[in-house]
Amino acid sequence: MTEYKAQTTDMLFAMNDVLDYAEHYASLPSGADATPDIVHAVLNEYAKLCENVIVPINRHGDEEGCTWQEGQVKTPTGYKEAYEQYREGGWPSLSSSIEVGGQGLPASLSKIVCEMLVSASPGFALYTAGQSGAIETIAEYGSEQQRALYETKLVSGEWNATMCLTEPHCGTDLGLMKTKAEPQVGGTYKVTGTKIFITGGEHDLTDNIVHIVLARLPDAPQGTKGISLFIVPKFLSDDDGNLGQRNSVHCGSIEKKMGVKASATCVMNFDGATGFLLGTENEGLKAMFTFMNAARIATATQGVSHAEFGYQKSLNYAKERLQMRALSGVKNPSGPADPIIVHPDVRRMLLTQKAFAEGNRLLNYYLAKQLDIALESKSEIERLAAKTRLDLLTPIAKAFSTETGYESANFAMQCFGGHGYIREWGVEQNVRDARIAMLYEGTTGIQALDLLGRKVLANNAHSLIAYTNELRAYWSSVDLPESLQPQLNKLLNYIDTWLGATHNIGERAKQNMEEVGAASVSYLMLSGHILLAHFWLQSAFVAINKQKENIEKKDFYLAKVETARFYFDHLLPRCEGYLASIHAGADSMMSITEAQLAAW
């Protein structure tokens, strides 16, 4: 049984057939080299790396985990060699500027290929996540000298990097941050404090690790407006990157976690470590927000990775595992029982995974396209529109893709019956690894508040209305086959319902702000289901046309039409539950007292 097959066919379908990436890339400064042929080749090369080099280290990475001894972290056997191959393939540099040694391809392409790396090994993939964040941050805010030194070393993959935000008492609420940075003679800073949950804070994959640290200057305003960014490398270096003195930042311990065990999650102690200001004083959090959309799209993509991995494993198993006969009569007369794929409930679990994997893939590619436009378009209006769209949809994608990714991973396990609980099959690891994505980069609850409070109600639903108008205009403009008309009617009805629910919450929030929090997660899940209805209908529509011209891939296209139908029949109706909960409001959440909750 193949462990994992990169879904390049579907990735290209999403990019080229549904979302017009060819045209999109042609319009971007960075897209000159990103022709369909090149993109195809990039995906194929990356797929090979993932299937042949990364997949083989995944399972034992989970078993072996990382070890910590006297401040040093050892990654699992084979991880250093795999990282070396990843680096030699030039993958850290895919979307980075040519001037720092990058390949200068569009930002979206990095997000897109990432899916494969996470399916292949979520623990390994996390060593590349801090890397991307740091590269993007230094590229935007670094001085020329900082870019030449740090960005170059990171883009080449010689050095690795982290983002140091969380402290023991502050995760979501960064305003409570205590880590301080004191200015020194000569323009450097002494950074002191403890950061936790630092992914790849210490390891043996690279000679140096560059920490991007959020800290407070002595005279900084209170709360989130007093946070600045600092570069704190593990080893100080000269301008050419020749390593010098060991900096006083050390890994105090690593966490024992539910999953992603191959990734070292570190407590980092900064004891007057030498740091360099990155960007403007007290504008650290603003800088973080710039990159949060990118980081959240990357996390959303992890939801796709887990759904895809589980789907493949459980589909293969369901075709082979013989158990019981179909209720409608024997399907495998020569065997002692039928393969379990004949049973409708097994198909329900498989189709749910497929619907979420492929639906969320499209949603995330749509966002990745907006990310390119926001970064690169020559038109300020286009950049702003893309940014607004990203702001609106990114929290949905992050929370919805990871929630449904986890649900999918659980369905994969369920298809295996009791065998799914045993480690050797790898599907329980997928569940454990998938679980973190609903927590980090802002929990589902935080995404939901961001969506409903900040991105929808705070601007009178302006950007939501703009988006839904665009959806309506799109569906008016296409010549839809009669067979898809009932699905379109459902989608258009739900778009109305979505706007109606928004208005309703907005009105109630005028009386009681807690209505926003009470409705938020149901509202986000409702939004996600409606978005996926749009993307599934679009997939079916495109596929119906494509299957006529491409006989060879007929099954692939027909699967799109069938899965869309399943999605509208069996998953979209969950909206009804979310709507009823939204309309029921905050009262029965808020009226119970703490004493009553704990009355036992």
211 phi and psi, to 5 degrees?
Answer: -95, 130
Q: Which is nearer to a second copy, 384 or 584 (CB)?
A: 584
CB 412 to a second copy: min, Å = 12
Do residues 143 and 279 touch, judged by C-beta distance below 8 A? no
Closest to 522 (Cα-Cα) out of 574, 573, 567: 574
441 assigned to active site: yes
For residue 590, count other CB atoms closer than 10 A to its CB: 13
12 phi and psi, to 5 degrees?
Answer: -70, -35
Do residues 251 and 234 touch, judged by C-beta distance below 8 A? no
CB 8 to a second copy: min, Å = 8
Task: Say how far apart CA 310 and CA 317 lie, in whole Å.
Answer: 10
Question: From the candidates 202, 358, 428, 441, which is the catalytic residue?
Answer: 441
CB 215 to a second copy: min, Å = 17
Task: Say how far apart CA 125 and CA 4 lie, in whole Å.
Answer: 15
CB 481 to a second copy: min, Å = 17
Closest to 124 (Cα-Cα) out of 52, 61, 192: 61
Q: Which is nearer to a second copy, 115 or 151 (CB)?
A: 115
Q: Provide the CA 130 distance to its chain's centre, in angstroms.
A: 13
User: Three-state SS across 500-557?
Assistant: HHHHHHHHHHHHCCHHHHHHHHHHHHHHHHHHHHHHHHHHHHHHHHHHHHCHHHHHHH
Q: Which is nearer to a second copy, 148 or 439 (CB)?
A: 439
Closest to 361 (Cα-Cα) out of 4, 5, 12: 12
For residue 172, count other CB atoms closer than 10 A to its CB: 12
Task: Say how far apart CA 534 and CA 521 lie, in whole Å.
Answer: 20
Q: Which is nearer to a second copy, 53 or 437 (CB)?
A: 437
Q: Provide the CA 459 distance to its chain's centre, in angstroms.
A: 26
CB 557 to a second copy: min, Å = 8
CB 32 to a second copy: min, Å = 30
Secondary structure element (H or E) that encloses residue 476, with its range: helix 462-477
CB 101 to a second copy: min, Å = 34
Secondary structure element (H or E) that encloses residue 314, with its range: helix 284-320
Do residues 387 and 369 touch, judged by C-beta distance below 8 A? no
CB 473 to a second copy: min, Å = 28
Q: Which is nearer to a second copy, 290 or 443 (CB)?
A: 443
For residue 599, count other CB atoms closer than 10 A to its CB: 8
**Going by DSSP bridges, is the β-strand pair 228-233/159-164 parallel, antiparallel, or unpaired?**
unpaired
Q: Which is nearer to a second copy, 384 or 590 (CB)?
A: 590
Q: Which is nearer to a second copy, 217 or 349 (CB)?
A: 349
Do residues 567 and 539 touch, judged by C-beta distance below 8 A? no
Residues annotated catalytic, as ranges: 441
